[in-house]
Amino acid sequence: MATERRAEVTWQGSLMEGAGTIDRVGSGAFGPLEVTWASRAEDPAGRTSPEELIAAAHASCFSMALSHALAQAGSAPQRLSTSATVTFVPGTGITAIALDVVGRVPGLDEAGFREAAEGAKNGCPVSKALAGVPEITIAARLEGE
Amino acid sequence: MPRIERVAEVSWEGNVARGAGALTAASSGAFSGLPYSLASRIGSPEGRTSPEELLAAAQGGCFTMSLATELSQAGTPPERLDVRVVVVMDEVAGEGHRVVSSHLAVRGRVPGIDAAGFARATEAADAGCPLSALVRASATVTVEQTLEAG
């Protein structure tokens, strides 16, 4: 079954002097959020940016895919902590995404966790949508009980 | 060119069907602790965001900035641009869930431009927005534009 998700954005003025707002999203989970070129390309100053939203999309998609893969392999995670770092070069676009996950997964060794993380990195829908990013990396480790 | 980094953090607890996650915009702090789950991702959102909604918001932000650039370079900076992005995820035989399409509906109030000029700027913005190019590699990206009367 197809799932639709929606966002609405407004921009006023030129790129450098203007400003935008992510007015609302279909779920109502956040917004309005301000965006500007300065906060995208320089100091965020409390404002999100397309690249930060991509980081959030990728980290959340990856975590869900990894929990699914671990549960299917018989070792559902107690907890996964994931960060995604998106590197943006103006004029070029997103050049790299670095995923970093720390898991608490009873009954699984490091090699098994790294293998599952690699699979989730390749398989989650956002990873497939962003497959054109030149470098997507994953670092995975287990934390002690 | 400077390299700009933006970071988000997610914690997830439990399996995919019954577990739940929370996500935070770590670079800016613009949002934190937003809940999400499988049920709210593929079914009714129930007030929760999802990876695909975040992708829609990101693409909308990227596209509006590209279009503002194109219009300004043409000597007609916009008064106001409104962009609505709808991202569709579907199950594709043999490939699991995939983002299959992204549709952008653009309305602009742009003094001194005609419909053909606005259409050209929209096309250029679509080609120039790096996120649209990424998504287009594996999904259908469509753009429709409407120029509002000044």
pTM of the model: 0.96
Q: Classify B63 as helix, strand or coil.
A: helix
**pLDDT at residue A144 in the model:** 76
Q: Which fold has domain A50-142?
A: GMP Synthetase; Chain A, domain 3 (3.30.300)
* Structural contact between residues B8 and A56, judged by C-beta atoms closer than 8 angstroms: yes
In this prediction, residues A31-49 reach a mean pLDDT of 96
- How far is the C-alpha of B25 from the C-alpha of B15, rounded, in Å? 23
ipTM: 0.96
**Domain extents for chain A?**
7-41, 50-142
Contacts of B6 in chain A (CB under 8 A): 44, 49, 51-52, 54-55, 85-86, 88
**pLDDT at residue B117 in the model:** 96
Domains of chain B in sequence order: 8-42 (no CATH), 51-147 (3.30.300.20)
* Structural contact between residues B121 and B114, judged by C-beta atoms closer than 8 angstroms: no
**pLDDT at residue A28 in the model:** 96
Q: How many CB atoms lie within 10 A of CB B98?
A: 17
Q: Is A74 on the interface with B (CB under 8 A)?
A: no
